[in-house]
C-alpha cells in the first residue's frame, strides 16, 4: 500500500503516528509499545463504503440458504470467523459479513423463560446496542459484538467484527427499530405463508425424536401471536418481500414441494430497479411451456403486475411451479428484464452453482438469486456515486 | 479425571469429543490412564456428539412445554416454552445439516486453518 503522506498529530499521544494514503483513503494508527515490538494497527477506514442490508426471516441465522446465495453472488464462500467461538453465528467472506441479530438478545434462554417472553418479543432484544454497533460498522469502526449461543442458550463472550464492504444483518427484527431501519440501504422480508411454514417444519422436525405432528403444530400456534404482533409488521418497511405460498397448479397440494413465490418490489427505491417481464408496468401472465419448451407436470407459470402493497407502489413478479431442466431456467432468464446480470446466463449459472441448496428448482432460489444480483448492483451504484461525488468535491 | 455424560450416549459409537478451551495447541489430546498418578493430570470431558446432546434437549423441551401448557395454554410460560422448542429444533436441524455437509475430521479442520504447521505440511515434489 503506497503511503503518500505522514502526519504526526499533536493532539494525540506522542507515541502515536498517523499515516494516510490518499489513494485508498485509509488511516493507519500506530502505537509504539516501549516493552514489546508489537505494533497495534487500528485500521480506521474513513470513507469505506459499507452498505447495510437487512433481512427479516423466521428461520435460524446466517446459515440460511438465502445468505449463502447472497454471499456467493459477491464471490467467495462465507465461513464462520476463524479461530473464534465455534458456535458463532457470524459468517464472513471477502466482501460480506453476515451478522445474526439473535446476538443482540438481552435475555438468554433462561432469562426469557423467567420473564415469560419469546425471542420474538422486543423486550428480549437490545435495540440500543444493535443500533450503536450497526452504526459503528457502517462508519467503518470495528465492534465487539456479543454472541448468542444457540446450542447452550447463553450469551457468550463477544467477538471482534471488522467493518466489511457489505454488512448483512439477518434475524427477526432488522426493521423493527426505526433508527436501525434508517441505517439500512436495502431491506428484504422473507414471508412464508402458514401452510408452507407448517409443511417445512414438518419436514425439518419429524426426524427429531420427541416431535410429533401435534407438537409442531402447537409450537407454531403458540408463537403466532408474538409473530403477528412484532415480526409481521416489518413487511411494510421492506424494499423487497419474497412471499412463499402454496402452489395453485396442483389442487389440494399440502406437501409444500411445489411453491408459488412472489417477489414484491417497491417502486421508487434509490438504486433499485425492479425486475420485469416483457413490459414494465403492465400486467403479464406467461406460461413458458409450449412449443419451444417442454416442461413436465406441473409446469411453470409466471405473472407480472403492478400493485399496491401497504400503500406503496410495487411491482410483483410471481413464479408458480418448478424447474427440472437447465434449459427451462435459461429460457426463463432470457425473457426477464432488468436482472442486473453482468452477462447472459448469470442467474442460471448462480442457480447451478448451488444446485444442492433447497429451493434451487423453484421461485425461492430464483428470486433469492435475483435479489442478490440487485444488491450487488445497488452496491456498485453506490460506490460509483460516492466516487463521482468525491471527484466533484476535489474539482 | 474423566466425566462421561452417560445419558447422552444413546448413539452406538460414542465419540470422544474433547472441547479445548483455547484452540492454540494440537486439536487432539489423549488421556493416558497410566499417567494419572503423575503431575500432568489432564481433564478430558467426554460428551456425546453435539447432535446427540441437542436432540435430547429438544426432546426434554417438548416434554416441558407440554407440561407447562397443560395448565394454561395461553400463558406466557406456555408460549415461551414452545418458543424454546422451536429454537432448539432449529439448532438441531442446523447441527444435522452441518454434520451432513462435512464430517469434520479434527485434523482436516486444523490444517485448513493452519497449513504451515508441521502436522499439515504436504510435500508434493
Q: How confident is the model at residue B123 (pLDDT cuts 50, 70, 90)?
A: confident
Pick from A79-83, A110-114, A198-202, B8-12: least confident: B8-12
For position A28, what pLDDT does the model report?
A: 52
pLDDT tops 70 at residue A376: yes
Q: How confident is the model at residue B75 (pLDDT cuts 50, 70, 90)?
A: confident
- Which residues touch A189 (CB under 8 Å, ≥6 apart)? A55, A56, A57, A175, A234, A235, A238, A240, A241, A242
Interface of B with A (CB under 8 A): 23, 50, 53-55, 58-60, 62-63, 65-66, 69, 75-87, 89-98, 113
For position A89, what pLDDT does the model report?
A: 86
Q: How confident is the model at residue B10 (pLDDT cuts 50, 70, 90)?
A: very low
Query: pLDDT tens, A131-184?
Result: 999 999 999 999 999 999 988 889 999 999 999 999 999 999 999 999 999 999
pLDDT tops 50 at residue B46: no
pLDDT tops 80 at residue B101: no
Cross-chain Cβ contact A223/B83 below 8 Å: yes
Produce one character per residue of A340-360: b if its CB has 16 or more CB atoms within 10 Å, e if not. Answer: bbeeeebbbebbeebeebebb
pLDDT tops 80 at residue A265: yes
Integer Cα distance of A50 and A97 in angstroms: 10
For position B103, what pLDDT does the model report?
A: 61
Q: CA of B70: which chain A residue's CA is closest?
A: A218
Distance from CA of B37 to the nearest CA of A (A): 33
SS3 annotation, B55-93 = HHHHHHHHHHHHHHHHHCCCCHHHHHHHHHHHHHHHHHH
Work out the burial of residue A30: count CB atoms within 10 Å of its CB; fewer than 13 is exposed, 13-18 middle, 19 or more buried.
middle
- The count of CB pairs under 8 A between chains A and B is 96
Cross-chain Cβ contact A112/B93 below 8 Å: no
Arithmetic mean of pLDDT, A204-233 = 88
For position A339, what pLDDT does the model report?
A: 94
For position A199, what pLDDT does the model report?
A: 87
Stated pTM of the model: 0.76
For position B6, what pLDDT does the model report?
A: 41
Q: How many CA atoms lie within 13 A of A365 on its CB side?
A: 23
Integer Cα distance of A251 and A261 in angstroms: 16
DSSP A309-354: ETTEEEEEEEEEEB--SHHHHHHHHHHEE----SSTTHHHHHHHHT
**How far apart are the two ends of chain B, measured CA to CA in Å?**
45
Q: CA of A212: which chain B residue's CA is closest?
A: B62
For position B48, what pLDDT does the model report?
A: 41
Arithmetic mean of pLDDT, A350-362 = 88
Pick from A11-25, A188-202, B103-117: least confident: A11-25
Average pLDDT, chain A: 85
Classified as helix, coil or strand, A196 is helix
Arithmetic mean of pLDDT, A370-392 = 91
Mutate to test the interface with A, among B60, B94, B98 (most CBs of A within 10 A): B94
Query: pLDDT tens, A36-76?
Result: 444 555 544 455 678 999 999 886 665 578 888 888 888 77
User: Judging by DSSP bridges, how do beta strands B2-4 and A16-21 pair with one another?
Assistant: unpaired
Q: How confident is the model at residue A30 (pLDDT cuts 50, 70, 90)?
A: low
Sign of CA dihedral A227, A228, A229, A230: positive
Chain A residues lying within 8 Å of B93, measured CB to CB: 60, 204-205, 208
Position with higher pLDDT, B41 vs A390? A390
Classified as helix, coil or strand, A239 is coil
pLDDT tops 90 at residue A19: no
For position A5, what pLDDT does the model report?
A: 45
* Nearest residue, CB atoms, B59 vs list A82, A201, A210: A210
Q: CA of B113: which chain A residue's CA is closest?
A: A82
Extract the C-alpha cell encoding A180.
436501525
Pick from A67-81, A93-107, A236-250, A352-366: least confident: A67-81
pLDDT tops 70 at residue A18: no
Work out the burial of residue A381: count CB atoms within 10 Å of its CB; fewer than 13 is exposed, 13-18 middle, 19 or more buried.
middle
For position A68, what pLDDT does the model report?
A: 83
Q: Tell me: cis bond preceding A298? Omega within 30 of 0 counts.
A: yes
Q: Which residue has the cell 447472459?
A: A344
Share of chain A above pLDDT 90, in %: 53
- Which residues touch A198 (CB under 8 Å, ≥6 apart)? A216, A217, A220, A256
Arithmetic mean of pLDDT, B74-98 = 85
Query: pLDDT tens, A318-347?
Result: 999 998 888 889 999 999 999 999 999 999
Which of A25-29, A344-348, A384-388: highest mean pLDDT? A344-348
Amino acid at each position: 500500500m503506497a503511503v503518500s503522506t505522514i502526519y504526526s498529530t499533536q493532539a494525540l499521544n506522542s507515541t502515536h503516528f498517523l499515516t494516510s494514503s490518499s489513494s485508498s483513503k485509509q488511516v493507519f494508527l500506530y502505537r509504539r509499545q516501549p516493552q514489546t515490538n508489537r505494533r497495534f494497527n487500528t485500521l480506521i477506514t474513513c470513507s469505506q463504503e459499507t452498505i447495510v442490508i437487512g433481512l427479516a426471516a423466521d428461520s435460524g441465522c446466517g446459515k440460511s440458504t438465502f445468505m449463502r446465495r447472497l454471499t456467493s453472488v459477491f464471490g467467495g464462500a462465507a465461513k464462520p470467523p476463524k479461530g473464534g467461538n465455534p458456535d458463532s453465528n457470524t459468517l464472513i467472506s471477502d466482501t460480506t459479513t453476515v451478522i445474526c441479530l439473535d446476538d443482540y438478545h438481552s435475555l438468554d434462554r433462561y432469562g426469557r423463560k423467567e420473564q415469560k417472553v419469546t425471542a420474538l418479543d422486543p423486550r428480549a432484544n437490545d435495540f440500543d446496542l444493535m443500533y450503536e454497533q450497526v452504526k459503528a460498522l457502517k462508519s467503518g469502526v470495528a465492534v465487539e459484538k456479543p454472541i448468542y449461543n444457540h446450542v447452550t442458550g447463553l450469551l457468550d463472550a463477544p467477538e471482534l467484527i471488522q467493518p466489511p464492504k457489505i454488512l448483512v444483518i439477518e434475524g427477526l427484527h432488522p426493521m423493527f427499530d426505526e433508527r436501525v431501519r434508517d441505517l439500512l440501504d436495502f431491506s428484504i422480508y422473507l414471508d412464508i405463508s402458514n401452510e408452507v411454514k407448517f409443511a417445512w417444519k414438518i419436514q425439518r422436525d419429524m426426524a427429531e425424536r420427541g416431535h410429533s405432528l401435534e407438537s409442531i403444530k402447537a409450537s407454531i400456534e403458540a408463537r403466532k401471536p408474538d409473530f403477528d404482533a412484532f415480526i409481521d409488521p416489518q413487511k411494510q418497511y421492506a424494499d423487497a418481500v419474497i412471499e412463499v405460498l402454496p402452489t395453485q397448479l396442483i389442487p389440494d397440494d399440502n406437501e409444500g414441494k411445489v411453491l408459488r413465490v412472489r417477489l414484491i418490489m417497491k417502486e421508487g427505491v434509490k438504486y433499485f430497479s425492479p425486475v420485469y417481464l416483457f413490459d414494465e408496468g403492465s400486467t403479464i401472465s406467461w406460461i413458458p411451456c409450449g412449443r419451444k419448451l417442454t416442461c413436465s407436470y406441473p409446469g411453470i407459470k409466471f405473472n407480472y403486475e403492478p400493485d399496491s402493497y401497504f400503500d406503496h407502489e410495487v411491482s410483483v413478479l410471481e413464479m408458480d411451479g418448478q424447474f427440472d431442466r437447465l434449459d427451462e431456467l435459461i429460457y426463463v432468464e432470457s425473457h426477464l428484464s432488468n436482472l442486473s446480470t453482468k452477462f447472459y446466463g448469470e442467474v442460471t449459472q448462480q442457480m447451478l452453482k448451488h444446485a444442492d441448496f433447497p429451493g434451487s428448482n423453484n421461485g425461492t432460489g430464483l428470486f433469492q438469486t435475483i435479489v442478490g444480483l440487485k444488491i450487488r448492483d445497488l452496491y456498485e451504484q453506490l460506490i460509483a456515486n460516492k466516487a463521482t461525488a468525491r471527484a466533484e468535491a476535489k474539482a | 479425571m474423566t466425566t462421561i455424560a452417560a445419558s447422552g450416549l444413546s448413539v452406538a459409537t460414542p465419540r470422544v469429543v474433547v472441547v479445548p478451551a483455547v484452540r492454540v495447541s494440537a486439536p487432539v489430546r489423549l488421556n493416558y490412564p497410566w499417567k494419572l498418578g503423575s503431575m500432568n493430570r489432564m481433564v478430558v470431558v467426554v460428551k456425546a456428539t453435539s447432535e446427540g446432546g441437542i436432540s435430547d434437549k429438544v426432546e426434554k423441551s417438548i416434554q416441558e412445554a407440554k407440561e407447562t401448557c397443560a395448565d394454561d395454554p395461553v400463558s406466557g410460560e406456555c408460549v415461551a416454552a414452545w418458543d424454546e422448542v422451536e429454537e432448539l429444533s432449529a439448532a438441531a436441524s442446523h447441527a444435522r445439516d452441518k454434520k451432513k455437509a462435512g464430517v469434520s475430521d479434527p485434523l482436516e479442520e486444523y490444517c485448513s486453518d493452519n497449513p504451515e504447521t508441521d502436522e499439515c505440511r504436504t510435500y508434493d515434489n
